[in-house]
């Protein structure tokens, strides 16, 4: 059970946190479903999937037929951004509607033996908001916002049901000995996965090493549980919110052998020219390119299962599905992003605040509501999900968040409000900040040592790949971006950006 002191301090913490954010975006929106016809909402989050890793965003070597179909039947959002260039803070932004200058979790901070730094109980989340609107809520996949039983556990953050990895470290491996099942009001359960045995690494979390025996692939079980959640709630009077933060294609590069078949020749050899990966902290992989491609295709198959299930249940026309990724492509575990052009035309990848680290492939699907086979370049980000879902649910958003509802964009109706700017910060690798303001993109690096480090400036209309720093040519824009960087954040003791 959660400590009673946390519950007592919930209101105090909410007032304290949101009282600080006087510069945040805050608007009221027209209620979409005044007749109480609230749509179901499904949010599928890939892990370390690059902007160019799927067919609708230019991928040529990896098969993604279901995402191709989703794009044909829906809308590509070509300028949508993740909350952060790494896992936990990106999820924190998504859940809270607050960018990384405000959201409580701004980096990957582990809690031994299992879990990460918890999202505070007093900060409202998407799941809590939707529960207040009458939704049933379920999360399936990788959580990463609090160790089991903490205030950051899914059941303490608005979810009726959770199944998957609580811990990001354990989620590096796909044949764990157990996953967590968490039901609101019940004890947290460890669910044993048949046939799995892992190699313990004493320097890491217990049970977080590479697999010794492989029996049950975690993603298959997680996807099955998510589909069961749809089955259980499809014909109920209350709508549901299904959050699917799947692990793949995050390293380690591991996939069931049958999923490899599209990328192997008749002799069982990779169709790609391969350089074996020796493992290190991750799993050794003799065919890393074929395996990565197979992981993306397997993820695509889960998306297809969800779309098919919604249609089978006859609820597809009352369900919004959004597919996206938590950050840009990884450079570890044997993945070769250059080979697959994983970041497409963008510079950088995971842990970078250049476009390749934070601009993510995003598709919205809602038959009869989202315009078919369309693309939209509205500049948006993870913090926009909370007000978007609130408007769809017919309730007011949390005041003083950083997000703006995207309902007008994804439905193709009405005038869309736009952001004055988007902001990111990342406390690791010397400290980084970035701002997107219209066509302008500002990036500042190594600010832990030098809070006044020079700003790099790019015109994304002319230089999408951020190859030409034009800061010296536009001193007024640089000054404006400097002021945004100063004013867009509040200090965080847990994740300091400046010493």
Tokens standing for 435? Answer: 């701002």
Which of 419, 443, 476 represents a domain boundary (last residue)? 419
Same domain, 208 and 343: yes
CATH number for the domain spanning 447: value is 3.30.1120.10
- Domain of residue 141 covers 4-419
pLDDT band at 208; cut points 50, 70, 90:
low
The CA distance from 103 to 62, in Å, is: 35
The CA distance from 319 to 183, in Å, is: 24
Q: How many domains does the chain have?
A: 2
CATH number for the domain spanning 100: value is 3.40.720.10
Same domain, 469 and 399: no
The CA distance from 278 to 288, in Å, is: 10
Please state, rounded to an integer, the average pLDDT across all residues of the chain: 92
Residue 39 is classified by DSSP as P
Same domain, 244 and 336: yes
Same domain, 391 and 426: no
Same domain, 273 and 301: yes
Tens digit of pLDDT for each residue in 356-376?
999 999 999 999 999 999 999
pTM, 2 dp: 0.93
Tokens standing for 80? Answer: 């949508």
Same domain, 162 and 55: yes
Provide the percentage of residues in the chain whose pLDDT is more than 90.
85
Longest Cα pair distance anywhere in the chain, in angstroms?
Answer: 64
How many Cβ atoms sit within 10 Å of the Cβ of residue 380?
25
Tens digit of pLDDT for each residue in 104-120?
999 999 888 899 999 99
pLDDT band at 18; cut points 50, 70, 90:
very low
Cβ atoms of residues 346 and 364 within 8 Å: no
Which pLDDT belongs to residue 199?
Answer: 77
Same domain, 87 and 59: yes
Which pLDDT belongs to residue 460?
Answer: 98
Same domain, 195 and 289: yes
The CA distance from 165 to 416, in Å, is: 37
């Amino acid at each position: 059970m959660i400590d009673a002191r946390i519950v007592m301090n919930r209101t105090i913490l909410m007032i304290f946190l949101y009282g600080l954010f006087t510069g945040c975006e805050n608007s009221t929106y027209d209620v979409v479903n005044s007749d109480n016809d609230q749509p179901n909402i499904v949010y599928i989050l890939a892990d370390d999937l690059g902007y160019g890793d799927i067919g609708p965003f230019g991928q040529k070597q990896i098969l993604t037929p279901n995402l191709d179909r989703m794009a044909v039947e829906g809308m590509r959002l070509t300028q949508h951004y993740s909350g952060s260039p790494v896992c936990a803070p990106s999820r924190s932004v998504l859940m809270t509607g607050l960018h990384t200058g405000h959201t409580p979790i701004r980096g990957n901070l582990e809690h031994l033996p299992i879990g990460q730094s918890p999202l505070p109980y007093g900060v409202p989340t998407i799941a809590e908001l939707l529960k207040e609107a009458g939704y049933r809520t379920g999360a399936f996949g990788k959580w990463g916002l609090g160790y089991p039983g903490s205030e950051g556990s899914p059941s303490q953050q608005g979810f009726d049901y959770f199944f998957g990895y609580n811990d990001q470290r354990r989620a590096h491996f796909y044949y764990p000995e157990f996953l967590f099942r968490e039901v609101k009001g019940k004890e947290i359960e460890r669910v044993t996965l048949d046939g799995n045995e892992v190699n313990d690494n004493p320097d890491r979390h217990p049970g977080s090493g590479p697999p010794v025996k492989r029996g049950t692939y975690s993603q298959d079980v997680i996807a099955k549980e998510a589909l069961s959640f749809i089955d259980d709630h499809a014909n109920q009077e209350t709508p549901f919110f299904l959050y699917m933060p799947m692990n793949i294609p995050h390293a380690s590069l591991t996939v069931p052998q049958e999923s490899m078949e599209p990328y192997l020749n008749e002799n069982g050899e990779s169709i790609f020219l391969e350089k074996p990966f020796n493992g290190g902290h991750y799993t050794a992989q003799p065919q890393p390119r074929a395996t990565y491609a197979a992981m993306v295709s397997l993820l695509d198959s889960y998306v297809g299962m969800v779309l098919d299930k919604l249609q089978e249940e006859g609820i597809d026309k009352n369900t919004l599905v959004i597919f996206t990724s938590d950050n840009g492509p990884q450079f570890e575990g044997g993945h070769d992003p250059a080979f697959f052009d994983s970041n497409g035309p963008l510079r950088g990848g995971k842990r970078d605040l250049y476009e390749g680290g934070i601009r993510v492939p995003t598709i919205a699907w809602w038959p009869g509501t989202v315009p078919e086979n369309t693309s939209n370049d509205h500049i948006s980000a993870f913090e926009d999900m909370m007000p978007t879902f609130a408007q769809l649910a017919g309730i007011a958003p949390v005041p003083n968040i950083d997000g703006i509802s995207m309902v007008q964009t994804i439905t193709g109706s009405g005038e869309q409000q736009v952001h004055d700017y988007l902001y990111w910060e990342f406390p690791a690798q010397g400290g980084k900040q970035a701002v997107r303001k219209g066509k302008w993109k500002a990036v500042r690096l190594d600010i832990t040592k030098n809070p006044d480090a020079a700003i790099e400036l790019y015109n994304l209309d002319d230089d999408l790949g951020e190859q030409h720093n034009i800061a010296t040519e536009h001193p007024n824009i640089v000054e404006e971006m400097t002021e945004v960087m100063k004013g867009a954040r509040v200090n965080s003791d847990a994740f300091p950006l400046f010493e």
